[in-house]
Structure 1
């Protein structure tokens, strides 16, 4: 896989049973790139390992005054230098390719999971954690995948050096062959502690990121209640905890790095001392001593990869664990669609067996819930994304077909859910409304139904270099330059343009005034008079426009009728819609009872 071939046609199905398994799965997916990196790494490291042999031959040739061997040593050094240069360049190239492609694979997996879960993702995982996984965690995971092949090349090189020195000069080679494994494994007892400290640092950094993300998202609210300093203090405290954890972790890694420097130095001293005695006794030649000395000195280059892989694994494992936790989230139950089932198109009534809610096909159905959180969960369930608490319950049915049994693409085509706080992506208004749609509803019709006239005027006035064309005016990130009501109506227009068979709206007019709300309700009813529309709301202006209204009380649909019928005959409905308290309802009930009693006496 090359960078120019990205993105992947299919990033694969990851092993998300644990962070370590996820890392190993990524390594297997990069097998071709890992092999290339390993081979170039071997060329690079073995070239460096061969330098002592060339230097030793040259020194011995000078001692023996042998010009032929000196020339041969020179040629050998040139060849080794070329191999080192080529290996270094290509090793860096393939390693960076492995890093980028691994990171891209993780990002594609996260994007696919985000598209699959939709708004349910942030209900199950904090938004800050999702941001952390898709940014810093992706880079750390890519680092481990990239470092894996370089570590393998370094390990093979050390084995070759040990074996080669034992064959070349057994007396000194045995010392090196015993010392090198000790050097490589000396830091092993320290790694669990270093890993734990790195885990603590990552957890604290993740919490700080979540806090920062949540603070930025709610900055307008914080300013409204004067809570900026409170949250700033919390973030400052979280940052100090991250700093302390980072210093605590860095001390351990500094100790590991020091050991990686001190122990090779001690081995080098031992080799020189023992080799000098052997040379003085005439048991080895000066060139052989120089060769062994140079080989031991250059092992430091390969040993650094042991420290790096340990550090990469320690930092990437928590990141991989977080990524695996996000990727392990499931849409709902996994049902295999038999051949031919995917071709059937689900049409008809929308029915939720859990609550008993039914939205007849082609009608405007309003749903009233006393709890906004219950309404939000119900909207997700109607869109095919039930909460984890609903696991085991039958999926929502559309025309008798469970949404879970439909392929995700088909389910998204027939049912569209607009959240209470929809997100507007940056770009022009034309880009915003350029969504997968049936083509039956034009952008102008949707904007008119959502009563976006004032929004279009504001965008036209704010346009620069577009000749006052509102459709070409750029909308800032998340529509921050617009008011809450304007953002809400643009999002509604986007949903209306999509023209799904079933449109579920969660409080689509909560941020607009009464006059605009009444006009929007009329626009929705008119534009979707032949489509199934479900609106979760408690506004009388919307409810009065609905063909039928369903009251959901304590998780069950308990009453069905028109707005006026329920307002007259259902106290629980009247309590939600008119905001009457239990005391007021009891007083009204007593008053009604007394009135009936008086009428009876009069009769």
Structure 2
């Protein structure tokens, strides 16, 4: 896989049972790149290891006054230099490719999971954690995948060097063969402690970042109550905790690095002292001593990869664990059957958890006293249970569980617009260019959503579009528009889609009552014959619905028209009219003899 071939056509099905398994899965899926890096790494390491041999042969050739062997040594050194240059260049290229492709695979997996779960993702995992996984954690995971093959090349080259030294000069080679594994494993007992300290540092840093984000988000409120200094003091304390944890962690890694320098030096002293005695006794030549000395001196180069892989694993394992936790989330808890691709879902929308029924082809309004309950219900109606326990009671469309439909089919059948829809940057034409049935024109959807003033504003804001609002660019998240304008454009986008079932959560909460009344008429007119569910408490919307359902304490407790429920259901009036208990009691005594004219007058006051 080359960088130019990204993105992957299919990033695969990851092993998310643990962070370590996820890392190994990534390594296996880049086996070709890992093998290339291993081979180029071996060329580099063996080129470095060959330098002492060339120097030793040259020294001995000078001692023996042998010009032919001196020329051979020169050729050997030139060959080692070329091997080092080519190996280092190609290893760096392949290693960077492995890093980028691993990071790209993780990002594609996260993007696919985000698209699969939609807004439910941030209900199950904090938004900050999702951002952290898709940015910093992805880099750490890519680092480990990239370092793995270089570590394997270093370990294999050390093994080859030890065996070669034993064959070349057994007396000194045995000392090196015993000492090198000791060097490699000496820091192993320290790694768990270093990992724990690094984990503590990251945990404290995460809490400090979360505290800072919350403080910035609520800065206006904090200034209003004079709480800036209090929260600033808390952040200072959290920041100092992070600093102390970072220093505590750095000390352990500094100790590991010091050992990696100290022990090779000790081995070098032992080899030189023992080798000098052997040379004085005539048991080895000067050239052989120089060769073994140089080989031991250069072991620090591959040994650095041992420290790096330990750090890479220590830092990437928690990152991989977080990524695996996000990727392990599923849309539902049930399993799609083999026939799910061919099952057709059409008919009434039914939620077994609340008992809510939205008849096919009708405009149903749902009233919930708690906005959070309404938001969770909207997600459920879209086939996304927000709690694990809710997955056992999937919403049914025409008797077919939504979570047994393929994701594409479920989203084609049911579209949910939440109370805070997002507008992506681009022109208005691009905003409305969404997958749709083709039955609703963009002009009709804009008219139904009462977007006339939005079109005028966009026309005035156009620069090079000849006043065409459809070609005017909308800034990121629609920041150049008011809240009501953004809400109506999002509604127009949903209406253009024309799904079989459209679920709207408070679609007119940011507009005035006159506009709201016209929007309600537009929705009812454009969605005539389609199944529409609106979660709202506005009398203007409720009065235009074919039927209204009151959801109280998580259950559908009353069904009727808006006026019927106003007359008969005190809990409904409490939500819609915001009446107090005393007012409800007084109204209850009056409603026994109320006539139609009085009910119309009451409705007018409510509206």
- Structure 1 length-normalised TM: 0.94
Give, in angstroms, the shift of residue 92 of structure 1.
0.8
Alignment partners' CA distance in 2, 1:529 and 1:23: 52
Q: Deviations over 1:65-85 (max 9, x none)?
A: 101011111111111111111
Distance 1:162 1:370 in 2: 75
Tell whether the 8 Å contact from 1:128 to 1:211 is kept in structure 2 after alignment: no
Take 1:587 and 1:425, find their aligned partners in 2: how far apart are those partners?
49
Counterpart for residue 400 of structure 2: 401
Q: Is the partner of 1:391 in helix, strand or coil?
A: helix
Contact 1:446–1:496 (Cα < 8 Å) also in 2: yes
Q: Secondary structure at the match of 2:298?
A: helix
Partner of 2:313: 313
CA distance in 1, matches of 2:503, 2:273: 82
1:489 Cα deviation after fit: 1.4
Structure 1 stretch 450-459 or stretch 388-397: which is displaced more? 388-397
Paired residues, what number?
594
CA RMSD of aligned residues (A): 2.1
- 1:500 aligned onto 2:499: yes
Q: Check 1:489–1:242 CA distance in 2 against 1; reply closer, same or farther (3 A cut).
A: farther
Aligned to 1:173: 173
2:125 aligned residue: 125
Task: Give, in whole Å, the separation in 2 of the partners of 1:316 and 1:215.
Answer: 29
Q: How is 1:249-328 mapped onto 2 (pairs within 5 angstroms)?
A: 249-328=249-328
Tell me which residue corresponds to 1:544.
543
- Contact in 1 for aligned 2:37/2:95 (Cα 8 Å): yes
Q: Distance in 2 between matches of 1:198 and 1:507?
A: 45
Distance in 2, matches of 1:568 and 1:32, equals 73
Shift of residue 271, structure 1, vs aligned partner: 1.3
Instruction: Write out aligned runs for 1:168-207 (5 A).
Output: 168-207=168-207
Q: Secondary structure at the match of 2:139?
A: helix
Aligned to 2:33: 33
Q: 1:358-390: per-residue Cα shift (whole Å, max 9, x none)?
A: 111111110001111111111010000012253
Deviations 1:106-149 (A, max 9, x none): 00110111011100000011100000000000000000011000
Instruction: Return the alpha-carbon distance in structure 1 between the equivalents of residues 282 and 119 of structure 2.
Output: 79
List per-residue Cα deviations over 1:409-461 (Å, max 9, x = no partner): 10011111111111122222222222111122222222221112222222233
Q: Tell me if 1:573 matches 2:572.
A: yes
For the Cα contact (< 8 Å) 1:438–1:498, is it kept in 2?
Answer: yes
Whole-angstrom distance in 1 between the partners of 2:295 and 2:98: 30
Aligned 8 A contact 1:521 1:545 in 2: yes
Q: How does 1:216-255 map to 2 (within 5 A)?
A: 235-255=235-255
Distance in 1, Cα, partners of 2:472 & 2:211: 33
- Maintained 8 Å contact 1:132/1:206: no
Equivalent position of 2:160 in the other structure: 160
Task: Kindly state the Cα deviation for residue 179 of structure 1 after the two structures are TM-superposed.
Answer: 1.2
Answer yes or no: is the 8 Å Cα contact 2:333–2:388 preserved in 1.
no
Structure-2 separation of matches of 1:146 and 1:329: 27
> Distance between the aligned counterparts of 1:335 and 1:79, measured in 2?
60
**Secondary structure of the residue that 1:17 maps to in structure 2?**
coil
Deviations 1:167-191 (A, max 9, x none): 1111111111111111111111111
Residue 450 of structure 1 contacts residue 520 of structure 1 at CA under 8 Å; is this kept in 2? Answer: yes
Q: TM-score, normalised by structure 2?
A: 0.94
Gapped runs of 5+ residues in structure 1? 596-603
The answer to whether the 8 Å contact 1:3/1:100 transfers is yes
| Cα distance, 1:563–1:18 mapped onto 2, change above 3 Å | same
1:458 corresponds in structure 2 to: 457
Task: Evaluate the alpha carbon distance shift between residue 30 and residue 235 of structure 1 in structure 2; reply closer, same or farther with a 3 A threshold.
Answer: farther
Shift of 1:216: 6.1
In the alignment, structure 2 segments of 5+ residues that lack a partner are 595-607
1:423 matched residue in structure 2: 422
2:481 counterpart of 1:482: yes
Structure 1 counterpart of 2:532: 533
438-447 or 143-152, larger mean C-alpha shift: 438-447
What is the CA-CA distance between 1:227 and the residue it aligns to? 6.8
Report deviation, 1:466.
2.8
Which one is further off, 151-160 or 507-516? 507-516
Distance in 1 of aligned mates of 2:232 and 2:413? 44
1:413 and 2:393 correspond: no
